[in-house]
Amino acid sequence: MTKCAVLFATMTLVFVGTGFGQKPATMTVKVYFHNEKPQTGQLGPVKAGLDFLITDNSVGPVRLGTTVAQARRALRGFTLSRTSDGEGIALIAVKRGKQTVMTLYAGEQDPRSRINERARIEFIEVWDPRYYTSAGVHPKMPLREVEQKYGQLKEIRLSEIEAREFATFSTHPSGIQLRVGDDSGMAGIYNEGKNTTARYSHSAYLMSISITGRGNATAQFSSRYTDLKKQCKNPAPARVEGHHTSLFCQGCGGFQFHNFDAATMAQINLQTLDRKISHPLTNQSLTYDQQVSEIEWRLADGNGYSQQTGQLSRNEWETLEDFARRIIPQGMQLAHSPLEDNFGPSRKSMVILFEADKAAAKSYEGWVLVPGLTGYVKYDLPKPEVTWSIEEPKAVLFANADKDPAQELFIIAECYTGIGPTGAQPFNRTRVYDWNGSGFTHLETVSTTIGTAATARAVQKKLKRRP
């Protein structure tokens, strides 16, 4: 067979004794060839097709869970060598000549170490367009053609730190991740300040296909634990002033924890080993709850979904106010009644505002609690650029402050400067918070536009006048 990219032919493969049942199972796949006209008649041995097939737990002859030594034997004609990425993860490059065909991760931590032949493969990312899924989707395929296979594009998400783009489709297969790109810029077309979109550029294409083995129909459940004090590593130990500190913590089943801080915030994300998918577990101030030292992994057939042991749980008999009083930091009191509404990442996000209970000059702080697997995940509300010595929340509302359909959080406060001849005269300011996919950000421009509006109705009138 010659080189390859856009033309395909169809063949039917028969699997015998594969665990699908007593009768042989069949699957139709499409085989792609570079610069070659469609062929008629027999296409060659079935094995030739299997050598390039991507499933939810294998790429050609390489399966998740096999050792590096077994993969090396299966990949005759290829070379396996140590490589890494921008975050310092220990990876294995599989090359044919000088071309990297795929990248493997086998749970190794040190990118400077020799390859551990006994390590088991947990994650595979495919770059070579000769490899394809059962639907005929392959790297380098234009996104408009991927839509013909997997249905309408649902979302392209831009990762916060690495600025990598990942797409999901209406009939997206489980256990397979799709990274997208555009040689002239971003594949997705994003509104200002947003990191998700359902629009893409004309030249956007599928950059790579990754498998994590999460597509099994049945699962055996188990638990493992990550010690945040012993099983984490900083790939760049020398800290640069003003930059966040990242710790990558060992996991299993193709996942890890990313524990990092930025300025006054600390966050723990659950993410795949190539960081294509990252889900926030907790977001909090650096001084709050520093005793969390262990995180539980919940596994299905060795593939993780997880929870932080410190997730906040509400008792069935607790009112919102009782729950909020119980969990706010010691020495604090509620600054406003807690509210639950449809905003941010959940239809039942909860707002809790609190202040020092004995301070003369009070400026409130706030959390948003988002329902998680076994409790609530907490996100701090960052303070705006300008604050006042006294800020007392008077009203909380939810409305649309930008062009997306999601509601934003508005907090109207009565403020005092505390100094000068007008220091005792109150005025109003409104904080506006928007969910950015991994946390909440303050919309300074919208807050300035609202100005001194004192009621929810006045705020909504200001919003309607915005261009």
172 and 259, same domain (yes or no): no
Backbone angles phi, psi at 68, to 5 degrees: -60, -40
More confident residue, 383 or 229: 383
Q: How does pLDDT run across 303-313, given as a tens digit for each residue?
A: 444 444 445 77
Average pLDDT estimate for 347-363: 80
146 and 193, same domain (yes or no): yes
pLDDT of residue 241: 54
pLDDT of residue 33: 32
The answer to the question of residue 286 being in a domain is yes
Confidence bin at 328 (pLDDT 50/70/90): confident
207 and 73, same domain (yes or no): yes
pLDDT at 465 over 70: yes
Backbone angles phi, psi at 378, to 5 degrees: -100, 135
Dmax over CA atoms of the chain, in Å, equals: 93
The answer to the question of residue 165 being in a domain is yes
More confident residue, 416 or 136: 136
pLDDT at 82 over 80: yes
202 and 62, same domain (yes or no): yes
26 and 72, same domain (yes or no): no
Domain that holds residue 5: 1-50
249 and 396, same domain (yes or no): no
User: Left if phi > 0, otherwise alpha if psi is -120 to 50, otherwise beta: which for 241?
Assistant: beta
158 and 276, same domain (yes or no): no
Average pLDDT estimate for 9-24: 33
pLDDT > 90 fraction of the chain, expressed in percent and rounded: 30
Distance from C-alpha of 215 to C-alpha of 175, rounded to nearest angstrom: 4
pLDDT at 200 over 80: yes
The answer to the question of residue 334 being in a domain is yes
The answer to the question of residue 460 being in a domain is yes
pLDDT at 290 over 90: no
Average pLDDT estimate for 403-416: 86
pLDDT of residue 307: 42
More confident residue, 372 or 89: 89
pLDDT of residue 412: 92
Distance from C-alpha of 265 to C-alpha of 378, rounded to nearest angstrom: 12
Confidence bin at 283 (pLDDT 50/70/90): low
- Least confident among 85-89, 121-125, 242-246: 242-246
The answer to the question of residue 217 being in a domain is no
283 and 353, same domain (yes or no): no
Average pLDDT estimate for 262-266: 59
236 and 331, same domain (yes or no): no
Contact 65/212 with Cβ under 8 angstroms?
A: no
Among residues 279, 308, 337, the one where a domain terminates is 308
Residue type, 238: A
Average pLDDT estimate for 369-385: 78
294 and 412, same domain (yes or no): no
More confident residue, 271 or 97: 97
What CATH number does residue 203 fall under? Answer: 2.60.460.10
- Least confident among 101-115, 199-213, 264-278: 264-278
Confidence bin at 95 (pLDDT 50/70/90): very high
Number of structural domains found in the chain: 4
pLDDT at 379 over 70: yes
Q: DSSP letters of 53-117?
A: EE-SSEETTEETTSBHHHHHHHSTT-EEEEE--TT---EEEEEETTEEEEEEE-S---TTSPP-T
The answer to the question of residue 119 being in a domain is yes
pLDDT of residue 149: 93
